[in-house]
Structure 1
Protein backbone atom coordinates (compact mmCIF):
# COMPACT_ATOMS: atom_id res chain seq x y z
CA UNK A 1 0.00 0.00 0.00
CA UNK A 2 1.34 3.43 -0.95
CA UNK A 3 1.15 4.88 2.57
CA UNK A 4 3.26 2.15 4.14
CA UNK A 5 6.57 3.95 3.61
CA UNK A 6 5.37 7.27 4.98
CA UNK A 7 5.78 8.68 8.47
CA UNK A 8 4.02 6.51 11.10
CA UNK A 9 0.83 7.89 12.63
CA UNK A 10 -0.08 8.68 16.20
CA UNK A 11 -2.04 5.50 17.00
CA UNK A 12 0.75 4.21 19.23
CA UNK A 13 0.44 7.37 21.33
CA UNK A 14 -3.26 6.86 22.02
CA UNK A 15 -6.10 8.24 19.96
CA UNK A 16 -5.82 8.23 16.15
CA UNK A 17 -5.61 11.68 14.59
CA UNK A 18 -7.69 13.04 11.70
CA UNK A 19 -8.08 16.39 9.96
CA UNK A 20 -11.37 17.84 8.68
CA UNK A 21 -11.50 18.76 5.00
CA UNK A 22 -14.36 19.88 2.78
CA UNK A 23 -15.14 17.89 -0.34
CA UNK A 24 -16.39 21.04 -2.11
CA UNK A 25 -16.05 24.83 -1.80
CA UNK A 26 -17.99 26.10 1.21
CA UNK A 27 -18.75 29.17 3.26
CA UNK A 28 -18.09 27.13 6.42
CA UNK A 29 -14.73 28.49 7.54
CA UNK A 30 -13.49 25.60 9.69
CA UNK A 31 -13.36 23.04 6.88
CA UNK A 32 -10.88 23.89 4.15
CA UNK A 33 -11.96 23.06 0.61
CA UNK A 34 -9.30 20.96 -1.08
CA UNK A 35 -8.23 21.73 -4.64
CA UNK A 36 -5.70 18.90 -4.95
CA UNK A 37 -7.10 16.01 -2.93
CA UNK A 38 -4.32 13.54 -3.63
CA UNK A 39 -1.57 15.95 -2.67
CA UNK A 40 -3.42 16.87 0.53
CA UNK A 41 -3.99 13.24 1.53
CA UNK A 42 -0.35 12.45 0.82
CA UNK A 43 0.71 15.35 3.02
CA UNK A 44 -1.62 14.31 5.84
CA UNK A 45 -0.17 10.82 5.87
CA UNK A 46 3.39 12.15 5.76
CA UNK A 47 2.57 14.27 8.83
CA UNK A 48 1.38 11.18 10.68
CA UNK A 49 -2.39 11.44 10.42
CA UNK A 50 -4.41 8.22 10.37
CA UNK A 51 -7.56 9.68 8.86
CA UNK A 52 -9.39 12.47 7.11
CA UNK A 53 -12.84 13.59 8.20
CA UNK A 54 -14.88 14.73 5.21
CA UNK A 55 -17.44 17.54 5.25
CA UNK A 56 -19.85 16.61 2.45
CA UNK A 57 -22.73 18.79 1.28
CA UNK A 58 -24.15 16.22 -1.14
CA UNK A 59 -22.92 12.60 -1.22
CA UNK A 60 -23.91 12.40 -4.88
CA UNK A 61 -20.93 14.67 -5.61
CA UNK A 62 -18.40 12.21 -4.13
CA UNK A 63 -16.67 9.86 -6.63
CA UNK A 64 -16.50 6.87 -4.31
CA UNK A 65 -14.17 4.62 -6.39
CA UNK A 66 -11.53 7.36 -6.75
CA UNK A 67 -11.75 8.29 -3.09
CA UNK A 68 -11.47 4.65 -2.05
CA UNK A 69 -8.36 4.27 -4.21
CA UNK A 70 -6.69 7.34 -2.69
CA UNK A 71 -7.49 6.28 0.85
CA UNK A 72 -5.96 2.88 0.22
CA UNK A 73 -2.89 4.43 -1.39
CA UNK A 74 -2.17 6.65 1.59
CA UNK A 75 -3.46 4.26 4.30
CA UNK A 76 -6.03 6.74 5.58
CA UNK A 77 -9.46 6.15 7.09
CA UNK A 78 -12.59 8.30 7.26
CA UNK A 79 -13.70 8.35 10.90
CA UNK A 80 -16.66 10.66 10.35
CA UNK A 81 -18.65 12.47 7.69
CA UNK A 82 -19.91 16.00 8.31
CA UNK A 83 -23.29 17.09 6.97
CA UNK A 84 -23.65 20.74 7.98
CA UNK A 85 -22.93 22.20 4.56
CA UNK A 86 -26.38 21.08 3.43
CA UNK A 87 -27.64 23.75 5.85
CA UNK A 88 -24.95 26.34 5.18
CA UNK A 89 -25.15 26.16 1.38
CA UNK A 90 -28.74 25.00 0.76
CA UNK A 91 -30.73 25.78 3.89
CA UNK A 92 -31.71 22.15 4.50
CA UNK A 93 -32.73 21.62 8.11
CA UNK A 94 -34.40 18.96 10.23
CA UNK A 95 -36.33 21.67 12.12
CA UNK A 96 -37.38 23.94 9.25
CA UNK A 97 -41.01 25.13 9.44
CA UNK A 98 -41.58 23.87 5.87
CA UNK A 99 -42.18 20.11 5.86
CA UNK A 100 -40.83 19.90 2.31
CA UNK A 101 -37.47 21.24 3.49
CA UNK A 102 -37.43 18.88 6.47
CA UNK A 103 -38.08 15.91 4.19
CA UNK A 104 -35.30 17.04 1.85
CA UNK A 105 -32.89 17.30 4.79
CA UNK A 106 -33.86 13.81 5.94
CA UNK A 107 -33.36 12.39 2.44
CA UNK A 108 -29.94 14.06 2.21
CA UNK A 109 -28.90 12.54 5.52
CA UNK A 110 -30.05 9.12 4.36
CA UNK A 111 -27.61 9.55 1.47
CA UNK A 112 -24.90 10.47 3.98
CA UNK A 113 -25.61 7.22 5.83
CA UNK A 114 -25.11 5.24 2.64
CA UNK A 115 -21.83 7.03 1.95
CA UNK A 116 -20.65 6.50 5.53
CA UNK A 117 -21.34 2.79 5.25
CA UNK A 118 -18.57 2.56 2.63
CA UNK A 119 -15.98 3.21 5.35
CA UNK A 120 -17.81 2.52 8.60
CA UNK A 121 -17.78 6.25 9.35
CA UNK A 122 -19.84 8.15 11.88
CA UNK A 123 -22.43 10.57 10.50
CA UNK A 124 -22.41 13.91 12.29
CA UNK A 125 -25.62 15.82 13.02
CA UNK A 126 -24.45 19.37 13.57
CA UNK A 127 -25.61 22.45 11.70
CA UNK A 128 -28.13 20.48 9.65
CA UNK A 129 -30.42 20.40 12.68
CA UNK A 130 -31.03 24.09 11.95
CA UNK A 131 -32.07 26.78 14.40
CA UNK A 132 -35.34 28.17 15.73
CA UNK A 133 -37.23 29.96 12.98
CA UNK A 134 -40.36 32.13 12.95
CA UNK A 135 -43.50 30.21 13.83
CA UNK A 136 -41.71 27.25 15.46
CA UNK A 137 -41.33 27.02 19.23
CA UNK A 138 -38.52 25.11 20.92
CA UNK A 139 -40.68 22.17 21.93
CA UNK A 140 -41.92 21.64 18.38
CA UNK A 141 -38.41 21.96 16.91
CA UNK A 142 -36.98 19.45 19.37
CA UNK A 143 -39.84 17.05 18.66
CA UNK A 144 -39.15 17.23 14.91
CA UNK A 145 -35.45 16.77 15.58
CA UNK A 146 -36.02 13.77 17.82
CA UNK A 147 -38.32 12.13 15.27
CA UNK A 148 -35.75 12.68 12.51
CA UNK A 149 -32.88 11.28 14.60
CA UNK A 150 -34.93 8.21 15.52
CA UNK A 151 -35.76 7.61 11.84
CA UNK A 152 -32.12 8.03 10.79
CA UNK A 153 -30.91 5.82 13.64
CA UNK A 154 -33.19 3.02 12.52
CA UNK A 155 -31.89 3.36 8.97
CA UNK A 156 -28.30 3.56 10.22
CA UNK A 157 -28.62 0.36 12.24
CA UNK A 158 -29.00 -1.66 9.05
CA UNK A 159 -25.53 -0.67 7.75
CA UNK A 160 -24.44 -0.39 10.66
CA UNK A 161 -23.47 3.28 11.06
CA UNK A 162 -23.44 5.40 14.21
CA UNK A 163 -24.80 8.94 14.55
CA UNK A 164 -23.07 11.68 16.56
CA UNK A 165 -24.98 14.79 17.64
CA UNK A 166 -22.71 17.79 18.07
CA UNK A 167 -23.52 20.50 20.63
CA UNK A 168 -22.77 23.83 18.93
CA UNK A 169 -22.22 27.29 20.33
CA UNK A 170 -25.05 29.81 20.67
CA UNK A 171 -23.79 31.93 17.77
CA UNK A 172 -24.35 29.07 15.30
CA UNK A 173 -27.59 27.58 16.63
CA UNK A 174 -30.04 27.89 19.51
CA UNK A 175 -30.82 24.16 19.54
CA UNK A 176 -28.59 21.84 21.61
CA UNK A 177 -25.75 24.03 22.81
CA UNK A 178 -24.51 21.82 25.64
CA UNK A 179 -23.69 18.18 26.27
CA UNK A 180 -26.50 18.02 28.85
CA UNK A 181 -29.12 19.22 26.34
CA UNK A 182 -27.79 16.84 23.71
CA UNK A 183 -27.87 13.85 26.06
CA UNK A 184 -31.46 14.68 27.00
CA UNK A 185 -32.50 14.40 23.35
CA UNK A 186 -30.47 11.22 22.89
CA UNK A 187 -32.25 9.70 25.89
CA UNK A 188 -35.63 10.52 24.36
CA UNK A 189 -34.57 8.98 21.05
CA UNK A 190 -33.51 5.82 22.87
CA UNK A 191 -31.11 4.32 20.32
CA UNK A 192 -27.78 2.91 21.51
CA UNK A 193 -25.89 3.91 18.35
CA UNK A 194 -26.67 7.63 18.77
CA UNK A 195 -24.09 9.55 20.76
CA UNK A 196 -22.30 12.86 21.28
CA UNK A 197 -19.59 14.64 19.34
CA UNK A 198 -17.76 17.04 21.63
CA UNK A 199 -15.97 19.93 19.92
CA UNK A 200 -13.51 21.71 22.21
CA UNK A 201 -14.10 25.07 20.48
CA UNK A 202 -17.87 24.98 21.01
CA UNK A 203 -17.60 23.45 24.48
CA UNK A 204 -15.19 26.18 25.58
CA UNK A 205 -17.96 28.71 24.85
CA UNK A 206 -20.94 26.81 26.24
CA UNK A 207 -19.75 24.52 29.04
CA UNK A 208 -18.82 25.66 32.54
CA UNK A 209 -16.14 22.95 32.45
CA UNK A 210 -14.89 20.99 29.46
CA UNK A 211 -13.68 18.26 31.78
CA UNK A 212 -17.08 17.88 33.47
CA UNK A 213 -18.81 17.87 30.07
CA UNK A 214 -16.56 15.03 28.92
CA UNK A 215 -17.26 13.08 32.10
CA UNK A 216 -21.00 13.69 31.71
CA UNK A 217 -20.96 12.37 28.14
CA UNK A 218 -19.27 9.19 29.37
CA UNK A 219 -19.74 6.21 27.10
CA UNK A 220 -22.03 8.27 24.87
CA UNK A 221 -19.00 10.24 23.69
CA UNK A 222 -18.54 8.89 20.16
CA UNK A 223 -16.24 11.49 18.58
CA UNK A 224 -14.09 14.51 19.50
CA UNK A 225 -13.25 17.60 17.47
CA UNK A 226 -10.15 19.46 18.61
CA UNK A 227 -9.64 23.18 18.04
CA UNK A 228 -8.20 25.85 20.27
CA UNK A 229 -10.12 28.72 21.88
CA UNK A 230 -9.83 30.82 18.70
CA UNK A 231 -10.66 27.85 16.43
CA UNK A 232 -7.07 27.73 15.24
CA UNK A 233 -4.95 24.61 15.61
CA UNK A 234 -4.31 23.40 19.19
CA UNK A 235 -1.42 25.26 20.76
CA UNK A 236 -2.30 28.54 19.05
CA UNK A 237 -4.95 29.59 21.56
CA UNK A 238 -5.35 29.28 25.33
CA UNK A 239 -7.22 26.01 25.96
CA UNK A 240 -5.70 23.66 28.54
CA UNK A 241 -5.49 20.57 26.35
CA UNK A 242 -3.48 18.64 28.89
CA UNK A 243 -6.50 18.77 31.19
CA UNK A 244 -8.88 17.93 28.33
CA UNK A 245 -6.86 14.86 27.32
CA UNK A 246 -6.70 13.75 30.95
CA UNK A 247 -10.50 13.98 31.12
CA UNK A 248 -10.85 11.96 27.91
CA UNK A 249 -8.56 9.30 29.32
CA UNK A 250 -10.49 9.15 32.59
CA UNK A 251 -13.78 8.88 30.67
CA UNK A 252 -12.43 5.85 28.82
CA UNK A 253 -12.71 7.57 25.45
CA UNK A 254 -11.37 5.32 22.69
CA UNK A 255 -12.30 7.21 19.53
CA UNK A 256 -10.61 9.73 17.27
CA UNK A 257 -9.24 13.22 17.75
CA UNK A 258 -10.32 15.08 14.64
CA UNK A 259 -8.99 18.59 14.04
CA UNK A 260 -11.74 20.92 12.83
CA UNK A 261 -9.80 24.16 12.71
CA UNK A 262 -9.59 27.32 10.66
CA UNK A 263 -7.05 26.82 7.84
CA UNK A 264 -4.96 29.67 9.23
CA UNK A 265 -2.45 31.06 8.59
CA UNK A 266 -2.70 28.47 5.78
CA UNK A 267 -4.06 24.95 5.41
CA UNK A 268 -0.54 23.51 5.24
CA UNK A 269 0.56 25.34 8.40
CA UNK A 270 -2.60 24.33 10.26
CA UNK A 271 -2.14 20.64 9.37
CA UNK A 272 1.50 20.78 10.44
CA UNK A 273 0.72 22.54 13.74
CA UNK A 274 -1.92 19.97 14.71
CA UNK A 275 0.62 17.22 14.04
CA UNK A 276 3.31 19.00 16.10
CA UNK A 277 0.86 19.53 18.95
CA UNK A 278 -0.23 15.88 18.86
CA UNK A 279 3.31 14.55 19.06
CA UNK A 280 3.92 16.53 22.24
CA UNK A 281 0.47 16.33 23.85
CA UNK A 282 -0.23 12.67 23.21
CA UNK A 283 3.20 11.67 24.49
CA UNK A 284 2.38 13.52 27.71
CA UNK A 285 -1.07 11.95 28.02
CA UNK A 286 -0.89 8.24 27.18
CA UNK A 287 -4.22 6.41 26.94
Structure 2
Protein backbone atom coordinates (compact mmCIF):
# COMPACT_ATOMS: atom_id res chain seq x y z
CA UNK A 1 0.00 0.00 0.00
CA UNK A 2 1.26 3.50 -0.84
CA UNK A 3 1.27 5.86 2.14
CA UNK A 4 1.40 9.66 1.99
CA UNK A 5 1.34 12.49 4.52
CA UNK A 6 -0.38 15.88 4.23
CA UNK A 7 1.75 19.03 3.91
CA UNK A 8 0.35 22.58 3.85
CA UNK A 9 2.10 24.71 1.24
CA UNK A 10 3.65 28.03 2.34
CA UNK A 11 0.78 30.30 1.28
CA UNK A 12 -1.55 28.53 3.75
CA UNK A 13 -1.64 30.64 6.92
CA UNK A 14 -0.17 29.03 10.05
CA UNK A 15 -3.21 27.39 11.62
CA UNK A 16 -4.65 24.31 13.26
CA UNK A 17 -4.90 22.36 10.00
CA UNK A 18 -4.76 18.65 9.28
CA UNK A 19 -1.29 18.88 7.76
CA UNK A 20 2.29 19.54 8.72
CA UNK A 21 3.50 23.11 8.12
CA UNK A 22 6.97 24.58 7.84
CA UNK A 23 10.01 24.55 5.56
CA UNK A 24 9.17 22.26 2.67
CA UNK A 25 12.60 20.67 2.22
CA UNK A 26 12.89 19.85 5.92
CA UNK A 27 9.33 18.54 6.13
CA UNK A 28 9.75 16.39 3.04
CA UNK A 29 13.02 14.95 4.31
CA UNK A 30 11.39 13.99 7.61
CA UNK A 31 8.35 12.48 5.87
CA UNK A 32 10.62 10.33 3.71
CA UNK A 33 12.86 9.38 6.61
CA UNK A 34 9.85 8.01 8.49
CA UNK A 35 8.94 5.78 5.53
CA UNK A 36 6.13 7.58 3.73
CA UNK A 37 6.32 7.35 -0.05
CA UNK A 38 4.35 10.46 -0.93
CA UNK A 39 3.20 13.91 0.08
CA UNK A 40 -0.27 15.30 -0.51
CA UNK A 41 -0.31 19.09 -0.79
CA UNK A 42 -2.90 21.18 1.08
CA UNK A 43 -3.10 24.45 -0.86
CA UNK A 44 -4.87 27.79 -0.65
CA UNK A 45 -3.67 29.50 -3.84
CA UNK A 46 -1.45 27.36 -6.07
CA UNK A 47 -0.57 30.43 -8.16
CA UNK A 48 1.47 31.67 -5.18
CA UNK A 49 3.60 28.52 -5.13
CA UNK A 50 6.82 28.04 -7.10
CA UNK A 51 5.80 24.85 -8.90
CA UNK A 52 9.28 24.09 -10.15
CA UNK A 53 10.80 24.50 -6.69
CA UNK A 54 8.34 22.19 -4.99
CA UNK A 55 8.83 19.63 -7.76
CA UNK A 56 12.59 19.70 -7.15
CA UNK A 57 12.14 19.49 -3.38
CA UNK A 58 9.90 16.44 -3.70
CA UNK A 59 12.33 14.82 -6.14
CA UNK A 60 15.26 15.50 -3.81
CA UNK A 61 13.36 13.78 -0.99
CA UNK A 62 12.41 10.85 -3.23
CA UNK A 63 8.69 11.44 -2.72
CA UNK A 64 5.71 11.15 -5.07
CA UNK A 65 2.79 13.58 -4.95
CA UNK A 66 -0.55 11.78 -5.37
CA UNK A 67 -3.05 14.57 -4.76
CA UNK A 68 -3.70 18.25 -4.18
CA UNK A 69 -6.20 19.07 -1.44
CA UNK A 70 -8.16 22.33 -1.86
CA UNK A 71 -9.75 22.58 1.60
CA UNK A 72 -8.15 25.92 2.49
CA UNK A 73 -9.44 27.59 -0.69
CA UNK A 74 -12.73 27.50 1.20
CA UNK A 75 -11.40 27.36 4.76
CA UNK A 76 -9.18 30.42 4.50
CA UNK A 77 -10.62 32.41 1.59
CA UNK A 78 -14.27 31.29 1.67
CA UNK A 79 -14.33 30.51 -2.05
CA UNK A 80 -16.71 27.84 -3.33
CA UNK A 81 -18.35 26.56 -6.48
CA UNK A 82 -21.74 27.15 -4.82
CA UNK A 83 -21.27 30.87 -4.16
CA UNK A 84 -24.32 32.89 -5.34
CA UNK A 85 -21.93 35.54 -6.70
CA UNK A 86 -20.85 34.53 -10.23
CA UNK A 87 -17.59 36.49 -9.86
CA UNK A 88 -16.66 34.47 -6.78
CA UNK A 89 -17.60 31.22 -8.51
CA UNK A 90 -15.31 32.24 -11.37
CA UNK A 91 -12.51 32.95 -8.90
CA UNK A 92 -13.04 29.53 -7.34
CA UNK A 93 -12.80 27.90 -10.76
CA UNK A 94 -9.53 29.77 -11.38
CA UNK A 95 -8.12 28.35 -8.15
CA UNK A 96 -9.31 24.88 -9.09
CA UNK A 97 -7.65 25.02 -12.50
CA UNK A 98 -4.45 26.34 -10.88
CA UNK A 99 -4.51 23.34 -8.54
CA UNK A 100 -4.98 21.06 -11.54
CA UNK A 101 -2.00 22.64 -13.28
CA UNK A 102 0.12 21.94 -10.20
CA UNK A 103 -1.21 18.39 -9.96
CA UNK A 104 -0.51 17.75 -13.65
CA UNK A 105 3.24 17.95 -13.02
CA UNK A 106 2.94 14.81 -10.90
CA UNK A 107 0.08 12.95 -12.54
CA UNK A 108 -1.82 13.76 -9.35
CA UNK A 109 -5.50 14.26 -8.54
CA UNK A 110 -7.24 17.36 -7.18
CA UNK A 111 -9.78 17.01 -4.41
CA UNK A 112 -13.02 18.98 -4.09
CA UNK A 113 -14.24 18.80 -0.51
CA UNK A 114 -15.36 21.93 1.33
CA UNK A 115 -14.67 23.97 -1.81
CA UNK A 116 -17.89 22.73 -3.38
CA UNK A 117 -19.77 25.00 -0.93
CA UNK A 118 -23.10 24.72 0.84
CA UNK A 119 -26.83 25.09 0.40
CA UNK A 120 -27.83 28.59 1.50
CA UNK A 121 -31.09 30.01 2.78
CA UNK A 122 -33.19 31.57 0.06
CA UNK A 123 -31.53 29.67 -2.77
CA UNK A 124 -33.17 26.60 -4.27
CA UNK A 125 -31.05 23.49 -3.67
CA UNK A 126 -31.30 22.62 -7.35
CA UNK A 127 -29.72 25.97 -8.23
CA UNK A 128 -26.80 25.30 -5.88
CA UNK A 129 -26.35 21.81 -7.30
CA UNK A 130 -26.34 23.22 -10.81
CA UNK A 131 -23.63 25.75 -9.94
CA UNK A 132 -21.45 23.03 -8.42
CA UNK A 133 -22.07 20.73 -11.40
CA UNK A 134 -21.21 23.47 -13.88
CA UNK A 135 -18.03 24.36 -11.99
CA UNK A 136 -16.79 20.81 -11.77
CA UNK A 137 -17.60 20.09 -15.39
CA UNK A 138 -15.82 23.28 -16.46
CA UNK A 139 -12.70 22.29 -14.50
CA UNK A 140 -12.78 18.74 -15.87
CA UNK A 141 -13.16 20.03 -19.43
CA UNK A 142 -10.40 22.64 -19.01
CA UNK A 143 -7.85 20.00 -17.97
CA UNK A 144 -9.23 16.68 -19.26
CA UNK A 145 -6.09 14.66 -18.50
CA UNK A 146 -6.06 15.60 -14.80
CA UNK A 147 -8.37 13.77 -12.43
CA UNK A 148 -10.73 15.39 -9.93
CA UNK A 149 -12.01 13.58 -6.84
CA UNK A 150 -15.16 14.75 -5.07
CA UNK A 151 -15.02 14.09 -1.33
CA UNK A 152 -18.17 13.34 0.69
CA UNK A 153 -17.82 15.67 3.70
CA UNK A 154 -19.57 15.30 7.05
CA UNK A 155 -22.31 17.50 8.52
CA UNK A 156 -19.88 19.69 10.47
CA UNK A 157 -18.39 21.00 7.23
CA UNK A 158 -21.12 20.60 4.60
CA UNK A 159 -24.87 20.30 4.17
CA UNK A 160 -25.05 18.39 0.91
CA UNK A 161 -23.06 15.64 -0.80
CA UNK A 162 -22.26 14.33 2.67
CA UNK A 163 -22.83 10.63 2.11
CA UNK A 164 -21.05 8.31 -0.29
CA UNK A 165 -24.06 7.08 -2.27
CA UNK A 166 -25.30 10.64 -2.81
CA UNK A 167 -21.86 11.79 -3.95
CA UNK A 168 -21.49 8.80 -6.29
CA UNK A 169 -24.84 9.57 -7.95
CA UNK A 170 -23.80 13.21 -8.33
CA UNK A 171 -20.47 12.30 -9.96
CA UNK A 172 -22.09 9.87 -12.37
CA UNK A 173 -24.54 12.58 -13.47
CA UNK A 174 -21.60 14.86 -14.27
CA UNK A 175 -20.62 12.53 -17.09
CA UNK A 176 -16.89 13.24 -17.04
CA UNK A 177 -14.41 10.38 -17.11
CA UNK A 178 -11.82 12.39 -15.14
CA UNK A 179 -14.11 12.95 -12.12
CA UNK A 180 -14.26 10.31 -9.39
CA UNK A 181 -14.49 10.06 -5.61
CA UNK A 182 -12.16 10.08 -2.67
CA UNK A 183 -13.25 8.60 0.65
CA UNK A 184 -12.23 9.80 4.10
CA UNK A 185 -12.58 7.54 7.14
CA UNK A 186 -13.45 10.53 9.34
CA UNK A 187 -16.36 11.71 7.19
CA UNK A 188 -17.68 8.18 6.70
CA UNK A 189 -17.57 7.51 10.43
CA UNK A 190 -19.07 10.83 11.56
CA UNK A 191 -21.93 10.41 9.09
CA UNK A 192 -22.66 7.01 10.62
CA UNK A 193 -22.10 5.06 7.42
CA UNK A 194 -21.02 1.43 7.33
CA UNK A 195 -17.52 1.66 5.92
CA UNK A 196 -17.60 -1.42 3.69
CA UNK A 197 -20.93 -0.22 2.24
CA UNK A 198 -19.43 3.19 1.48
CA UNK A 199 -16.55 1.53 -0.33
CA UNK A 200 -19.02 -0.58 -2.32
CA UNK A 201 -21.18 2.45 -3.17
CA UNK A 202 -18.16 4.32 -4.50
CA UNK A 203 -17.35 1.37 -6.75
CA UNK A 204 -15.12 2.15 -9.70
CA UNK A 205 -15.19 5.85 -8.81
CA UNK A 206 -13.10 5.21 -5.68
CA UNK A 207 -9.69 6.68 -6.49
CA UNK A 208 -8.17 8.08 -3.28
CA UNK A 209 -8.39 7.68 0.51
CA UNK A 210 -7.73 9.70 3.68
CA UNK A 211 -7.24 8.15 7.10
CA UNK A 212 -7.08 9.47 10.65
CA UNK A 213 -8.27 8.38 14.07
CA UNK A 214 -11.10 9.71 16.25
CA UNK A 215 -11.03 13.46 16.94
CA UNK A 216 -8.72 13.79 13.92
CA UNK A 217 -5.82 12.28 15.83
CA UNK A 218 -2.89 10.38 14.39
CA UNK A 219 -3.65 6.80 13.38
CA UNK A 220 -3.71 4.59 16.47
CA UNK A 221 -4.06 7.47 18.92
CA UNK A 222 -7.87 7.29 18.98
CA UNK A 223 -10.74 4.87 19.29
CA UNK A 224 -11.77 3.96 15.74
CA UNK A 225 -11.38 0.46 14.29
CA UNK A 226 -8.98 1.47 11.56
CA UNK A 227 -7.84 -2.09 10.96
CA UNK A 228 -11.38 -3.05 9.94
CA UNK A 229 -11.57 -0.08 7.55
CA UNK A 230 -8.27 -0.96 5.90
CA UNK A 231 -9.36 -4.56 5.62
CA UNK A 232 -12.38 -3.29 3.65
CA UNK A 233 -9.95 -1.66 1.21
CA UNK A 234 -7.94 -4.87 0.94
CA UNK A 235 -11.12 -6.83 0.26
CA UNK A 236 -11.78 -4.87 -2.94
CA UNK A 237 -8.13 -4.89 -4.02
CA UNK A 238 -7.65 -1.15 -3.51
CA UNK A 239 -4.08 -0.31 -4.49
CA UNK A 240 -4.25 3.49 -4.53
CA UNK A 241 -2.79 5.99 -2.11
CA UNK A 242 -3.71 6.34 1.55
CA UNK A 243 -2.95 9.78 2.96
CA UNK A 244 -2.67 10.34 6.71
CA UNK A 245 -4.63 13.57 7.27
CA UNK A 246 -4.89 14.62 10.90
CA UNK A 247 -3.97 17.29 13.41
CA UNK A 248 -0.38 17.49 14.58
CA UNK A 249 -1.18 16.40 18.13
CA UNK A 250 0.71 16.53 20.44
CA UNK A 251 3.18 17.78 17.84
CA UNK A 252 4.03 17.09 14.21
CA UNK A 253 7.05 14.89 14.93
CA UNK A 254 5.04 12.59 17.20
CA UNK A 255 1.94 12.50 15.01
CA UNK A 256 3.83 11.72 11.81
CA UNK A 257 5.77 8.89 13.44
CA UNK A 258 2.69 7.44 15.15
CA UNK A 259 0.67 7.14 11.94
CA UNK A 260 3.37 5.49 9.86
CA UNK A 261 4.30 3.13 12.69
CA UNK A 262 0.69 1.97 13.05
CA UNK A 263 0.03 1.73 9.31
CA UNK A 264 3.23 -0.20 8.63
CA UNK A 265 2.43 -2.49 11.53
CA UNK A 266 -0.99 -3.23 10.09
CA UNK A 267 0.27 -4.01 6.60
CA UNK A 268 3.23 -6.04 7.78
CA UNK A 269 0.80 -8.37 9.55
CA UNK A 270 -0.80 -9.26 6.21
Which TM-score applies when normalising by structure 1? 0.90
Partner of 2:95: 108
Matched, 1:31 2:15: no
Q: 1:74 aligns with which of 53, 61, 66?
A: 61
Unaligned runs of 5+ in 2: none
- Check conservation: 1:178, 1:207, Cα contact below 8 A: no
Match of 2:170 in 1: 185
Match of 2:74 in 1: 87
Partner of residue 234, structure 1: 219
Residue of structure 1 in register with 2:200 after alignment: 215
CA–CA separation in structure 2 for the residues paired with 1:193 and 1:64: 22
Cα deviation, residue 27, structure 1: 7.0
Match of 1:4 in 2: none
Deviations 1:200-240 (A, max 9, x none): 01110114201110122122111000011211011111211
RMSD across aligned positions (CA): 1.4
Contact map agreement 2:112 2:150 (CA 8 A) in 1: yes
SS of 1:254's equivalent? coil
Residues 156, 254 of structure 1: alpha-carbon distance in 2 compared, 3 angstrom cutoff: farther
Contact 1:225 1:260 in 2 (8 A): yes
What is the distance in 2 between the residues matched to 1:237 and 1:30?
18
- 8 Å Cα contact 1:87-1:93 kept in structure 2: yes
Query: What are the superposed Cα offsets for residues 110-143 of structure 1, whole Å, 9 maximum, x if unpaired?
Result: 1111111111110000111111223322211111
2:83–2:89 Cα contact (<8 Å) kept: yes
Structure 1 residue matching 2:210: 3-state secondary structure: strand
CA distance in 1, matches of 2:192, 2:146: 28
The answer for the alignment partner of 2:122 in structure 1 is 135
Q: For residue 227 of structure 2, give the secondary structure of its aligned residue in structure 1.
A: helix
